[in-house]
Structure 1
Amino acid sequence: MEKKNIREVSPEEMAAFLSVNGEKVFRAKQIEEWIWQKGVQDFEEMTNLPKSSRELLKATYYFDKLLPDCIQTASDGTTKTAWLLNDGNRIESVLIPGNEKYTVCVSSQAGCQLGCRFCATGTLGFKRNLTVGEIVDQVFHARKEAECSSSSLSNIVFMGMGEPLLNYDHVLSAIQRITSEKGLGMSPSRITVSTAGIPAKIRQLADDRVRFNLAVSLHSAKENVRSQLMPVNRAYPLAELAASLIYFVEKTGTRPTFEYLLLHHINDSLEDARALADYCKQFPVKINIIEYNPVEGSEFRHSPDKQRDAFVQFLENRNMVVHIRKSKGKDIDAACGQLANKRKD
């Protein structure tokens, strides 16, 4: 009999399975606590279950767990891990220190199908969506690492490999597990989901009344420039994206964030800043200016500090809420997809 992934079994299914096999039904709750609260990945660690129950589970189910394949730690404490999945695919997560607490950047897909030109993940191509367990596992590992440093995991950002809204059901189910009292009990306000801009899915988020934060990778408010950088813009142009964000704000009352990667001579001129300010007039929004992490062989270059500061000042003079996100892990393969690219066979 082929084994099933235990993290894809509902509590009701587990209760029925235990009943059919002569086990106590209340053990379904114990099993769920071991998996989603304590993050165990070995049936032998479920110590309040009798040996017969553990053997039954072991014979029937498996864990879709992550195995560390390569770990890099930067001088600033940023740690990037390439994880090996059960099927041989690789993903990445990044643990970022700050103010005595940690943020983890997690992946939602193995590879990505959107092909953004500045992103190393796009060169991997799309492999598959991650399971709920594989997503939550990245958070379990990050929490454990933070605790080993006598600290805590305070924030989760879905800004790793893949487009989260193209793995909508699994991402939202993972967030439900992370925020549930039966899971990790984290606040939704500590979670940010970043999208390249899929209007129908942004509207679905609004209809589902999500309580986590939404970030949009914009990178240019000029149609032709954004289409060159992000092919997704050809399918969902700026006007369509704006309409979905207006809908999102009206439904949720939440202010989204624009992620804007500054690329020298591409999108960092005052004319680009003016286009961005005009685009942002349509809805309340925060702007994160991101420093570019160079990728080997890339055509793009880091925007000089003087150019960056002029860009930011232009926006602030027009009452935009702007934050400069300093690049972390500069002395490791910090750009998304770099490490997994190097580890691929």
Structure 2
Amino acid sequence: MAAGLGVLDAGTLTTVQDAGRWGLERFGVPVGGAMDEFALAAANRLVGNPPDAAALECVGAGPLLRAGRDTLAAAGGAGFALVVEGRRFPLWMAVRVRRGQRVGLSALSDENAPGVWGVLAFAGGVDVPPVLGSRTTYLRGGFGGVQGRALQAGDILPLGRPSLGAWERAGDCLPEGARPAYSLEPVLQAVVGPQAEAFQPQALEVFFHSSYQVLPASDRMGYRLAGPRLIHAGAADMLSEGLARGAVQVPGDGQPIVLLADRQTTGGYTKIAVVARASLPLLVQCPPGRGRVRFQPVEAAQAQQSWRQLCAAWEAREEDALLTPV
């Protein structure tokens, strides 16, 4: 096998993802990228990569790979464990993997715990050819990653060159206090949306004082929620405009949809709110069919500050206390 990673078992749905394909929305190309931005960034930092480097993202059963060279691996997200030659390691820890060893993600079967998406990063990053400036896989469009598709057994994934001193990071971990507070019932910060006036006056109060179930019909495009109906003052439709990650669209049935990584570039439904970036990892790791969410109103400045505080964990330099050896 060539030096890199050989796919022994692709799992349920494993793709190559990075921080997304930015700057092309005006041409109709979605941003995409990892569902859990924090997990991608933190796992990459643990193995010495830039936070936006390409890694593997999985949902359901995780992948199993064979290392074609010595490498360093770290996993992030929720609901998974890192496994090297049958030995389990916790998430948020850099682990040395020897050439020829099997490495992968194993899904945890705890119905009382959060977790949907796992991220597996390797020193040097997954070095598939970039498409339109990104290695991220866009499944609906059939491009990026490995031929625009999910991984298959037999695939060979090249790895990039590790950063200087990457091997010294083995054993580094991200302290629990620096991780997102994943939960089955998270409270999500949200900023009042650009079309809040398109709803009846009580709609915002209903939105911020209700609990919503995350529906099974949720995916990388968006998480569908079910709860008290949000009633429009007029029509639910509007002229289409650009869509931000975290935008809460409300179609005519009054049930909110939070738009996520693979959201369309434009949309014509009114938006009652926008979920703060720091809260999106909590949402995406809230299991569809089991989880419920509530919304907390915040100003834009507070939402921005929450993201900066969360990012402090992986923006810290090596000597900072946030990345500590075990």
TM-score of the superposed pair, with normalisation by structure 2: 0.23
Structure with larger RCO (C-alpha < 8 A, sep 6+)? 2
**Structure of larger gyration radius:** 1
Q: Hey, which of these two has a bigger chunk of strand by percent? A: 2
Query: Where is the helix percentage greater, Structure 1 or Structure 2?
Result: 1
